């Protein structure tokens, strides 16, 4: 594997599948640990929701400070 090259296509496939599997685990963890609880909290108290205009305003303020 000198120069960052793989010796066989099988190695490329193995590493690619391993990377996809790790990404899948990370997404599943994020969904279970962050997205699910945030959704449940919003369902329990809909007043927590913000409008799309509020989101845009907050993002604009964050990324374009004056």
Q: 58 is written with which tokens?
A: 């907050």
Q: Would you call 36 helix, strand, or coil by DSSP? A: helix
Question: For the whole prediction, is pTM greater than 0.75?
Answer: no
Tens of pLDDT, residues 10-36: 999 999 999 999 999 999 999 999 999
Of the chain, the end-to-end C-alpha distance in Å amounts to 51
Residue pair 57/64 in contact by the 8 Å Cβ criterion: no
């Amino acid at each position: 594997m000198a120069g960052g090259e793989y010796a066989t296509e099988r190695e490329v496939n193995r590493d690619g599948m391993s990377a996809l599997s790790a990404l899948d685990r990370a997404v599943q963890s994020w969904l279970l640990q962050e997205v699910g609880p945030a959704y449940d909290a919003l369902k329990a108290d809909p007043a927590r929701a913000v409008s799309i205009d509020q989101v845009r305003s907050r993002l604009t303020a964050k990324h374009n400070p004056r």
